[in-house]
Each structure stands twice: as structure tokens, then as C-alpha cells.
Structure 1
């Protein structure tokens, strides 16, 4: 049971009257220094779950986040609330980085990427015996087990961070709790997160991704031109309400946004390659209604909460269900009806093979990556220091990450590794996520039931008929 002072601080800082389930349970775990794995649906208020304990506890809470835009958004919000928070990233000047490092003893929250966390200047300051570390929060933790070309090998080193930090702290230093937060993780991903982060008897808190107010729909676009025309019709059908259009590459955001502008739509392209200031301007314009919708990659929406978002259009299918459920979750956060539409190529690929080409290209890139890692493997010492090994070849970081992911390597510290004895041939590429997405596209049953089954809510899935997805509506007409 949380003491009244916790709710009072929450009300004073964030202005809400009470916690939403299961926020209070998560906050209590972190205040008691328990390790946690939290699967909280998009829009469930997960940031507050670690921000509130951080400002109530003594010491610095480290928040590990994958995206610069996400870190900046959250830190700016905290600073507006006059809370002691900062971020460190590569876009800061040397003077700005130095100022943040000097302020560490006075901060409650420090946002960093895994790469910045393990950079020498930052790591040395965090290891200072006089700097109290209150906790380590891994936000968007699915990136740790990410399947695809966005694999971040540094994430695989995070499991040894806690023990390495504790070696530099005095004996009376309190335990450093670790919590991992994500919106999506099936049972296999959950087990891998617990193992990789070395969570100790973690409290696993899961909420269903199901949104009864969100209608899921899939439609065939027979030709590339048809895909554009269906996009225009769908936007018109939403009657100027706020939405998002997701595409899969930076180039495609700009091409589609430019074409839609010729169709008299006021919009903008958004991706992680844009300057920080320009991204902030687009986000603000969208939230304030200047842009009814934005054409974006998956970089948009993380950390942003616009409850007025009524629709999400996938101009192209995501590669995985995890990506899909993250992105459709941007719509309908206020509980009012919302719609998601995914456009897909016709099954044969004769008239439009763009979806198939995109998958093939992705698999080819993965295969090249695998072959490159296999070729470098004989050159990798069986024991070594991370910095020394990558000095001659930065691609060695990928090899180390892949070996750890395959259970063939152990990190004794974030910097010292040892390869286990045995066969070190990498396994073939797992196509299961692609097949899952294809099965979702073609399912004849309730789409929400399919997703619930895929993410480990089998019992709920057996009886679920959402009544608002395209498949349920078709069944109702029969």
C-alpha cells in the first residue's frame, strides 16, 4: 500500500486525481527496490511509473532509452514541471555534456542511450563512489530483443551494468533496482528480457494490449496508384480528425508527404533523420492541430501523448506484430472510438509486389549481416575487452551482440566478455515474425483475438470477439 504522500506528490506534479491500474503497483515495487518487468499497453502512463519513484528516492535514476526524440520529449516535460532531469546524447556540445555531468549529484533522472551510458566519460562519472544510483530503468525494452535491422548490440551488455556499478559503491549503498518497460513482449521475449538484464526475482506486471474502442482493419491495395487513392479516401472519411500515416523508410515519408501536399493536404514528413528542432516543430504543429496528420516512420509517437488521435493508417505493412501494435496504439488513447487501417499488396504480387520486395530486401540485409558476422567470428578473441576489440573493426560489436543473443557469450562486465566453448555457427534467420504478420493480414477471425493470442493472452483470446474489427463486422453481416 502506497503512503498518502506518494499520491499527493503525483497530484501536485502531474495534476491527475488518482493512479490508473496498475500504476500504483509498479510504483510501489520500484519504491521498495524490487526488480520489475512491466508490459503496459501503449498510452498506459508507463513514464510516470518510473518518474515518480525517481523524484521521491534519494540518488540518480538512470533511464535507458533508444531514441533521441523520446529522451528529449520526456526531459523537456520534466523540466517544465521543474523536476531535476537531464539527458546526455551525441547532439550536445562538449560544453553542454560537461554541464550535465557536473550536475549529476543534483539530478533525479538522467536519460541516456545504451551507447552513451557505456561511453568512457559518462561511465566513469556514474561509477564515482559518492554518486548514489537509485535505479536503472530500461524504457522501450523490446529494443533489447528487437528482431531486424534495428538490432542494437549494446543492449546486450546492459545485464552486467548493475553489478559493475555496485563494485564502485560503498557497502552501505542501497540496492540498485532494475525495471524494464515495454508495450509488447510474448512469453519468449519476456524470458529473454529477464535473462539478458539479469533481473532478480522480478515482479512481472502485464496488461492486455486490447483496446475495445479501436477498430482494426486490413485492405488490399491492388496497385501502387490504388494505394495512394485509398489513402486519400480514408483521410477524407476521417473528416479532418487527427491521425498518423506510417511508412517504413525515411525516403518514403518525404515522397508520400510531398504527393499528399499536391492533393491539397497540409502535412509534413517526420523521421529520425530530421534535425531535433524540426522534429519538435512538427510534433507541436500536429498536437496543436496545425497538421491534421503527419507522414512518419516508427520514430514518431514514442513518448508523445495526443489523446485526440482518432486514426492510424499503415501505408505499408510493418514487418512485425510488435511494431504494428505499438503504432496502432497511438490512436484512441482517450477511450473514444478510433480506427486503424493497414494497406497491403494483393496476395499474388503480380500487380503490386512492393510489400514482397520490402520483405525480401529486409531478409537479404539480414543474411548479409549474418554472413559478415560469421566471417568475422574467427578473428574474435575468446576473451577480451570490448573497446580493444572494436577499435580495429566496429563490426565486432555486432558479432559480440549476436553471440550473446545466441547464448554463446557472457559479459563479466559491460566491457569484458568471454565466449563459451562449443559450436559458434550462427543459426539461420528466424522468419517467424514475418510469417506471423502475414497470418494476421489473412486471418478470417477477430483481429484482436489474433493479437491477444500472439502476445500470450491465450485465455482471453479464446472468447474474444471485439465486434469492431473488419472481420467481426463481416461475420455480423452474415
Structure 2
């Protein structure tokens, strides 16, 4: 970055956000984005990632599209930008028709610099019709929480797998020589996830920024539970020792969230269940009640946390261990963002599953669900035309868009553009994603059972091999046990 550019950008940083200087690698990421390079950034939560794409977007003429998984995440960032009178907006399904109309008109008139939207909204015909117009200048695409592409693309949000075709499809409509950079941000991505993100987004020789995820103030603990009753007793003991301290209890399903909340209420806790099945307003109310301290904690699924900024979370409990280690890192990372100590406890069934079979049964349920999806995909590829419209397949076959997404991840179909597919092969060998899922499950199991320093294990698992050598945090349960 030239001295002039650095001074200009630093002046804007100070003027808009009040910061005197950048934290590494903010300036380097901004430089890459401004020069049109693709970037992949793995940066722990609280590292200041939003400035890395908001500032270059504001410095350029034209539009930057930020693809974000949750409305709460979009609202949080857009509200902050709009309070500073900056040209940013969001589009999602919960907006009124008039609000959407105003935002679309602002895009058409090129009055905005940042527009936040979900993958599904980006790929809706009404949005696509506008952003694909030749005169609408688009500088770049930003995928926030990029790990969702890997975790959700073949499970329940298939639009994620079509994001890689967005840039080449848009460029067909733009003037020759148009550049459009892609930046993918995530707090956690192991080497396999990084590779998948790079491939599926069709990143072109991306500059990769990997920031060490170690948090010296985050104390990790895994405890073996021998009975279902014992699991509940451990939660009560842990929370009881942390009265009036903000925390979160994570469970694996909506039903688990409701049932555990009901039990905690029956013994006097003022607590709310939070999951994606709740009405939007109910979720917003729970978020605000937790943020303002009206409730000490919530019993939630993985739907809770992204985009909700609370610095003084002192504890995280995984009542059930998450399926993936990247999910675990995302969720425990919500503790201690103010730099003060925070405790993260994960409860697991005893190894045999004889006395406490609930974890084994839960894991089998999710495995069987995945197998069912593979079976549907195998059936679908026999029935669909060699090419056609994705939405037509989704209407004709239950779960058709999800099955197509799975077939895409296996290389059996390709996207011609965001709305049409073409078969690639008649082979029915669906196993690559299954093997990937098995590898992640094996890694997660190894972490839960390891006797080594837990942070050392995580550093190695997320690609920081040299940092992991001989590392000992001194404050996880295994280090304290030595």
C-alpha cells in the first residue's frame, strides 16, 4: 500500500470510526480488496473484520454486496453504518414492500455503497434483474460467516452452493474488463473448510489471512456425564456458581431447547428458549432481553449468537456437544470478548453409551438424516432432465433444491448460472461429502476425548501446526489436571 493511500485510508478510518490506526491485518486486507484481489480471511470474532470490507466499499464508487446468513447480523451492522449517515442498506424477507422498493430504487440510482442480503435474497429474480444491469457497478462480493457455505449448503440452505457462479454470471452483463473481487470472512475454518470455500466460491489465487484463534482468557473444559439426570445437575452446579453472570446454554435441536427451558423454569430460573423456529419478533425480544440483562442466559440452538455483540459473556455451556469443531469454536468464542476470563463447559455422555445413550442416539439421528438426503439425491438424478431450472425442480420434487445442492457438491451437476443446472455424470457414487462429514466427526470426537492441552489440539486442527508444537495454555481442564 503506498504511503499516500495509507494516509488517505487511515484518515477515513479515524473520521468514520475514531480509530487512530489499523490492527493487523486490517490494512493488508483493505489493500488487497481495493486492488481487486480475492481474499480469504480467518479471523477470530472481535478482530475488526467488518472494517476490512466496509471501509474499501465506502472509498469506491459503485456497490459492494455483503452476503450474510442472518437478519440479526445484517441489522446490527447496517444500523451502525446508518447511524453514521453512511450509504448502506439491507434487503430481507421481513421488510415491508415499501422498504424493499426504496432500497431497490436506491441501488438503481447508485446511491448506495453497501447492500446486505442473504444468499436466498441475492438469488431472487427481482434482485438479480437489477444488479445484473450493465450500468450498475459492483466492485465486490463479501461472504460474511463463510463457514456457513460448508456447514449449511448441503443441509438446509442450498442457495449457498450457488454463490460461486454469481461473479461469472454477473460479469457476463458488465462492460468488458470489469473487475469484481470476492472476500470470504469467517472466524473458524480448518484447512479442509478453507479449501472447500476457495473451490466453491471460485476464488482466483486468493490472498489468505489466517489469524491465530488462541484466546488466553477462554478456559475450556469437557466433563463426562454418566446419566441424563447427572447432565442436568452439572448444568445447575455450573450456573449456580456464576450468579448474575451472563451466559449461554447451547443444545442441538429446537425440541431440546424447549424441553430444557421448561425444566429450568420449573425450578425457578427466568430463562427463554431460542431457536430458528420462533417468530421473528419473539427472537428479537429474547435477544434484547439477554443483551440488556433482563435474562441471565438463554437455552439456544446454533441459530443464536452470530451478529449479537455482547462483550461481558462470562460462560458458555454446551449441554450437547456440537457436531463440528468449527461450530464449537464459533460458540465458545462468544465468551469473554471484553478480554476478561470466561469459562466454556462441554458435557458429553460416558464413552460406552450404555448408561447415558442420549449423545449416541442424537448423533445417529443426524447421521440417518444425512443418509436420507443422499438417498433422495440418488433418486433425483435418475428422474431429472439433463438440464433445467433449479426452482422448477424444487417445486416438482420435495427437497429437490437441497438434493441438487448435494449433487453439485459431489460434482454430478454444475450450475450454468444461479438459476439453471446441467448434469455432469451418470455416476451415482455419492461419498465425497459423506467422507468429509465423517472426518469432521472423527476430529470432534478426538477433541472431546483428548488428554492433551485443548488449545494445542485446536491450534493443530485449524492449521496452526507450528504454533501448536509444544504449546500448553495452562488453563484448560487437561492442563490443570497435570
TM-score normalised to the size of structure 2?
0.93
Inter-partner Cα distance in structure 2 for 1:275 and 1:473: 43
Inter-partner Cα distance in structure 1 for 2:66 and 2:101: 19
Contact 2:152 2:158 in 1 (8 A): no
> Where do 1:160-179 residues align within 5 Å?
160-171=165-176, 174-179=178-183
Q: Pick closer, same or farther for the CA change 1:266–1:395 going to 2, 3 Å.
A: closer
Q: Which residue of 2 aligns with 1:222?
A: 226
Contact 1:410 1:419 in 2 (8 A): yes
SS at match of 2:11: helix
Inter-partner Cα distance in structure 1 for 2:160 and 2:207: 21
Decide which of 184, 206, 213 is 1:209's aligned counterpart. Answer: 213
SS at match of 1:180: strand
Q: Which residue of 1 aligns with 2:158?
A: 153
Q: Shift of the alpha carbon at 1:341?
A: 0.3
Q: Which residue of 2 aligns with 1:114?
A: 119
Inter-partner Cα distance in structure 2 for 1:68 and 1:150: 19
Q: Which residue of 1 aligns with 2:443?
A: 436
Per mean C-alpha deviation after superposition, the further-off stretch among 65-74 and 312-321 is 65-74
Q: Shift of the alpha carbon at 1:327?
A: 0.3
Inter-partner Cα distance in structure 1 for 2:152 and 2:93: 25
Q: Shift of the alpha carbon at 1:426?
A: 1.2
Q: Which residue of 1 aligns with 2:339?
A: 335
Does residue 387 in structure 1 map to residue 409 in structure 2?
A: no
Which 4+ runs in 1 deviate beyond 3 A? 147-151, 387-391
Q: Which residue of 2 aligns with 1:31?
A: 34
Contact 2:152 2:160 in 1 (8 A): no
Contact 1:345 1:353 in 2 (8 A): yes
Contact 1:216 1:339 in 2 (8 A): yes
Q: Shift of the alpha carbon at 1:343?
A: 0.9
Inter-partner Cα distance in structure 2 for 1:275 and 1:318: 24
Does residue 301 in structure 1 map to residue 305 in structure 2?
A: yes
Q: Shift of the alpha carbon at 1:149?
A: 6.9
Q: Shift of the alpha carbon at 1:305?
A: 2.1
Inter-partner Cα distance in structure 1 for 2:143 and 2:476: 33
Q: Which residue of 2 aligns with 1:135?
A: 140
SS at match of 1:33: coil
Does residue 9 in structure 1 map to residue 16 in structure 2?
A: no
Q: Shift of the alpha carbon at 1:89?
A: 1.8
Deviations 1:287-316 (A, max 9, x none): 222222222111211022222111111111
Does residue 58 in structure 1 map to residue 61 in structure 2?
A: yes
Inter-partner Cα distance in structure 1 for 2:134 and 2:188: 36
Q: Shift of the alpha carbon at 1:131?
A: 1.3
Per mean C-alpha deviation after superposition, the further-off stretch among 389-398 and 446-455 is 389-398
Inter-partner Cα distance in structure 2 for 1:78 and 1:12: 13
Per mean C-alpha deviation after superposition, the further-off stretch among 71-80 and 133-142 is 71-80
Q: Which residue of 2 aligns with 1:22?
A: 25
Q: Shift of the alpha carbon at 1:77?
A: 2.6
> Where do 1:410-425 residues align within 5 Å?
410-421=414-425, 423-425=427-429
Does residue 45 in structure 1 map to residue 52 in structure 2?
A: no
Inter-partner Cα distance in structure 1 for 2:398 and 2:92: 20
Q: Shift of the alpha carbon at 1:148?
A: 8.6
SS at match of 1:145: helix
Decide which of 348, 361, 364 is 2:365's aligned counterpart. Answer: 361
Alignment size in residue pairs: 474
Deviations 1:348-385 (A, max 9, x none): 22222111111010011111111111111111222333
Structure 2 residue ranges without an equivalent (≥5): none
Q: Shift of the alpha carbon at 1:422?
A: 5.3
Contact 1:243 1:310 in 2 (8 A): yes
Decide which of 86, 90, 93 is 1:87's aligned counterpart. Answer: 90
Inter-partner Cα distance in structure 2 for 1:78 and 1:276: 22
Structure 1 residue ranges without an equivalent (≥5): none
SS at match of 2:346: strand
Q: Which residue of 2 aligns with 1:460?
A: 467
Q: Shift of the alpha carbon at 1:414?
A: 1.7
Q: Shift of the alpha carbon at 1:71?
A: 2.0
Contact 2:212 2:464 in 1 (8 A): yes
Inter-partner Cα distance in structure 2 for 1:225 and 1:20: 47
Per mean C-alpha deviation after superposition, the further-off stretch among 424-433 and 454-463 is 424-433
Contact 1:143 1:151 in 2 (8 A): no
Inter-partner Cα distance in structure 2 for 1:406 and 1:467: 42
Per mean C-alpha deviation after superposition, the further-off stretch among 354-363 and 14-23 is 14-23
Q: Which residue of 1 aligns with 2:106?
A: 103
Inter-partner Cα distance in structure 2 for 1:227 and 1:391: 43
> Where do 1:183-262 residues align within 5 Å?
183-262=187-266
Root-mean-square deviation (CA, aligned residues, Å) is: 1.9
Inter-partner Cα distance in structure 2 for 1:137 and 1:64: 6
Q: Which residue of 1 aligns with 2:382?
A: 378
Q: Shift of the alpha carbon at 1:403?
A: 2.1
Does residue 276 in structure 1 map to residue 318 in structure 2?
A: no
Inter-partner Cα distance in structure 1 for 2:373 and 2:176: 44
Q: Shift of the alpha carbon at 1:231?
A: 0.8
